């Protein structure tokens, strides 16, 4: 259930042309979307026997001049929203405001979308 949900979300993103990884890579090369379990990773669904899987999709873009990076972030978030909204069984619960992400002494701009999937065992 969990692996299948993660694989399905990864397929949704990559089939939309989004570079995505199911874990944080050793070296980050933006633009990139990274999947991780959400804070409310697995909860009960609205229907008996159903579960809701939660994933955080962190969208990472290169830092640049403000106008350029803002546009890149808008485009990256739009791409994930469009891909997920067109996928059956997935929906976006929230999108965080962009913030700086420090990884291995490098800074990137990132925003996190919380994506849910209703599923059964």
Rounded CA-CA distance 87/9 in Å is 9
List pLDDT tens digits, range 13-36. Answer: 999 999 999 988 888 899 999 999
Alpha helices, H only, the chain: 2-15, 66-85
Beta-bridge mates of residue 113? 57, 95
Comparing C-alpha atoms, which of 33, 2, 7 is closest to residue 19? 33
Summarize pLDDT for 43-87 with one digit per residue, the tens. Answer: 987 788 889 999 999 999 987 777 778 899 999 999 999 999 989
Residue 100: strand pairing partners? 109
Domain ranges for the chain: 2-120
CATH fold group of domain 2-120: STM4215-like (3.30.2000)
Cα separation, 121 vs 116, whole angstroms: 16
């Amino acid at each position: 259930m969990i692996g299948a949900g993660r694989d399905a979300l990864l397929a949704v993103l990559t089939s939309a042309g989004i570079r995505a990884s199911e874990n944080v890579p050793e070296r980050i090369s933006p633009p990139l979307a990274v999947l991780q379990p959400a804070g409310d990773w697995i909860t009960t669904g609205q229907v008996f026997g159903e579960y809701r899987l939660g994933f955080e999709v962190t969208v990472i873009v290169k830092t640049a001049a403000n106008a350029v990076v803002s546009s890149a972030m808008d485009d990256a978030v739009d791409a994930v929203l469009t891909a997920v909204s067109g996928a059956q069984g997935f929906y976006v619960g929230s999108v965080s405001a962009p913030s700086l992400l420090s990884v291995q002494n490098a800074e990137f701009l990132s925003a996190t979308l919380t994506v849910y999937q209703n599923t059964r065992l």
